[in-house]
Copies of this chain bind each other. A is one copy, B any other.
């Protein structure tokens, strides 16, 4: 005989059973760097008892890939300094079952399980999951060129690859290096190797280095590199590598042959999604995993975060692939919140990035001129030169600010900054203004801080905005 009481108990039993099912099958995270470990940590904070297993292919967790050039240059003394939290810390303090040197080789969506190869074993095992987070990151673009697999050619994306370069420098004592590709990593590594005393050349297909800037701004960075002695070969492409005894001995371009002892690839990264090819999981046009704003993939219960996943660009409205630590950390927090039963959305990116190249700080956000044109938007630009401090204050140095805005609406579309110390962080004002959908006029009206050690009375960003108002 059923009583209301009995029914209620049954329901409770069902709930307990459902929960125990959830808690039996762990959250599985593939990838133990920024996105994966941010998510795992968030789940742990929200759900202290929930089993979490992280499979990380390398020996390291939660390290600063952005710090690798400074470790290579010697500015940062040890690779350990780049590790925010070690696998041991996660295991002991956070009760997260982090398994390093474990390679996930397959994802079985139907069976809700992943296939894993443990270190030193030929055999693989299947690990079931309750929910799955894919945080496999990105891989350096490796050109399919003759000799491309020779020793002495390094891509840089993992701490292990940074350690490998460091070791190569210490053991092989190379005297010359060629950087192939002039993006952030290529340029930061060029500077690092100059600091280590190497002769450094850089080959870049485009007209100027740093293609995330417009060429007029990129030219300032090219000049900075030449100043510290980097030989730039612009509008030139690598076509192959010469080798001797299996080791790289020269980079061959479409114009010349550059003898070298070491090659660093700085051709950008590509989302690491090989694993998902057979799963039917949707990828975007960028090649990265398509996610909704809660960072769920096209498969319910499977999430993606960090360098392997897309983001929505808040200015263009398009899906983009931006492989940066800031995005990965935010992705991880959002995905972790949702996996833990919360409800968080990732608001998107505006494409902000910053780098220090030699004496210069370089920053960008929003859209470039060519991106605006590709969207068919009628844009105007304004570029101004100002000072980082009041002109009379010691240490005042040059800063160039470029702003892009949309004719008609007056809406700000993007900004780029190159300047000496104190210049670059101003990009955050532009990023915040872009996020708020501000016009150039709105930026002129902002109540930004001023004192002689910090700025001219009109902040350079506002001086550029004033010029942009006229140009619009």
Contact = CB atoms under 8 A, between A and B. Distances in A.
A348 B442 CA distance: 11
Nearest to A455: B425
A450 B365 CA distance: 12
Contact of A454 (B354, B435, B438, B457): B354
Interface of A: 34, 64, 66-67, 70, 75-76, 81-82, 314, 324-327, 329-330, 346-356, 361, 363, 365, 390, 392-394, 422, 424-429, 431-433, 435-436, 438, 442, 444-455, 457-459
A348 B352 CA distance: 28
Given A354-B450, A393-B67, A450-B324, A433 B432 contact: yes
Contacts of A329: 457-458
A457 B325 contact: yes
B427 A429 contact: no
Given A353-B449, A431-B449, A449-B427, A326 B393 contact: no
A447 B457 CA distance: 26
A457 B455 CA distance: 25
A443 B444 CA distance: 21
A452 B67 contact: yes
Contact of A451 (B81, B350, B356): B356
B450 A325 contact: yes
A96 B13 CA distance: 87
Given A329-B458, A435-B447, 6 more contacts: A34-B457, A66-B390, A325-B457, A329-B457, A330-B445, A432-B438
8 contacts: A327-B447, A348-B447, A354-B450, A424-B449, A425-B426, A425-B454, A426-B428, A433-B436
A390 to B, nearest CB: 6
A452 B422 contact: no
A393 B449 contact: no
B451 A355 contact: yes
Contacts of A70: 392-393, 452
A345 to B, nearest CB: 9
A445 B392 CA distance: 37
A426 to B, nearest CB: 7
Contacts of A82: 392
A352 B448 CA distance: 6
A145 to B, nearest CB: 30
A392 B432 contact: no
A431 B451 contact: no
Contacts of A425: 422, 425-426, 449, 454-455
B350 A447 contact: yes
Given A67-B393, A390-B67, A392-B67, A447 B424 contact: no
